[in-house]
Amino acid sequence: MPLPRLPVMGWSALEGARAASVPSLLDRQQVVLTSSGSAAILLALEALDTSLGQRVLVPTYHCPTMVAPVQTLGAQPLFYPLTESGAPDLDWLSRQSLHDVKAMVAVHFFGLPQPMEPVAAWCRERSIALIEDCAHALFGLAAGQPVGRWGAFAIGSLKKFLPVDDGGCLVPNHPFVLPALSKRSFTADLKSALNTIELGARYGRLRGAGFAVMAGLGLVRRVRGRRPFVAEPGDEDRIDAVASKLDVALAHRRITRPSSWLARWLPRERIVERRRRHYAHLVERLGASRAMHPLLPALPSHCAPYVFPLWVRQPDPGYLALRGAGVPVYRWNRCWPGTPLIPGDSGPAWAHHVLQIGCHQDLSDHDVDCITDILLQTFEVDAPGSIDET
């Protein structure tokens, strides 16, 4: 500990088959690589002509980066509840007044594909544009169809799956006019490459590169004016502050060249295979706990999970202790101001109880064992007998 919260560059990233056994958004011909997933949502909303005062449906369970693009355009987020499985509650939505609703952001939470056909049909009937948020699901099949094909647009977030310094993707499913993205400067490209190398070296994943890495790190310090934004335990407030503001100029620039190159050329099967293995291992080790349980123990067969969602009966104060110990864990317990409490909504309970445990490909089996040991030590202590309190 601390363990990387997201994939980091290392020699092992070059291993395995280039093509994944599960389809990816990146396979699509029309994919536009953007500076981030949040930028991709902004570009989708712009292409849909979303304007001041219009409304965009966003789930009550969210991170600020999903809502910031809506606010940036002067539109209003209209928060909708989720069912127990994390699907939009279409019954509740159908009872609402939906005037001026332009678009809906629907998410495949945790990388476990949701059936999107009912959501797409609901949107079609109301002329609401569906933005399929695949930030957690760069790979996957939903109801036999590759993720990212249901809506007007799909968006992805590359840093969650690849050892890259920046990047998102936007996939239009209809012939939209997309804004031309401006090129990145040479310095931005160089920083991106050096940040990628530095992170890999910091976590010991580029062993043997010796001189090259050390020279690279020396260059990092000279070229980069400030530290890269790499999340560390305790950085939550900073993450929230950064995430809730969208850099509009950056959102209209391309991904950096090193990240684009890595996104196109790194082998992909290892990403799918290792994430699935870690997820299964976490289910096995934590499944019998009295203090917590896997939110969704059955991993669908064609997907690569982003994280392992773990329901913890009493997540506080353990959650902060986990972060302090360097466990790769997130919790979406800071809702956008004005997020409503809606009866029957799973969102607030998830925001409180669900910890998103890292299960990415650059954690070793030993790392995953250490994570489960710490989880058990943190939450099993004095856990009363029942499995669940809801």
Ligand X SMILES: Cc1ncc(COP(=O)(O)O)c(C=O)c1O
List interacting residues with ligand X (CB under 6 A).
Answer: 36-38, 63, 65-66, 107, 133, 135-136, 157, 159, 168
Is the peptide bond preceding residue 300 cis, with omega within 30 degrees of 0?
Answer: no
Q: How far is the CB of 108 from ligand X (least distance, A)?
A: 8
Smallest gap from Cβ 172 to ligand X, in A, equals: 17
CB neighbours of 58 closer than 8 A, spacing ≥ 6? Answer: 66, 67, 70, 77, 78, 79, 80, 105, 336
For ligand X, the nearest residue by Cβ is 37
Comparing CB distances to ligand X, the nearer of 107 and 329 is: 107
Smallest gap from residue 136 Cβ to ligand X (A): 6
- The angle subtended at Cα 272 by Cα 267 and Cα 277, nearest 5°, is 130
* Range 122-125 contact pairs with CB under 8 angstroms and sequence separation of 24 or more: 122/88, 122/90, 122/93, 122/94, 123/151
Identify which of residues 66 and 152 has a Cβ nearer to ligand X in the complex: 66
Cα separation of 233 and 251, whole Å?
A: 27
What is the smallest separation between the CB atom of 366 and ligand X, expressed in angstroms?
A: 27
Question: In terms of CB distance, is 7 or 37 closer to ligand X?
Answer: 37
CB of residue 63 to ligand X, shortest distance in Å: 5
Nearer CB in complex with ligand X: 168/172: 168
Q: How far is the CB of 380 from ligand X (least distance, A)?
A: 29
State yes or no: cis peptide before 317, omega within 30 of 0.
yes
Nearer to ligand X, 44 or 368 (CB): 44
In the complex with ligand X, which residue's Cβ is closer, 37 or 151? Answer: 37
Closest contact distance (angstroms) between CB of 61 and ligand X is 9
Based on CB atoms, which residue is closest to ligand X, 66 or 170? 66
Name the residue nearer to ligand X (CB basis): 131 or 201.
131
Cβ-based nearer residue to ligand X, 134 or 282: 134
d(CA 11, CA 65): 31
CB of 132 to ligand X, least distance (A): 11
Residue 179 CB, nearest distance to ligand X (Å)?
Answer: 17
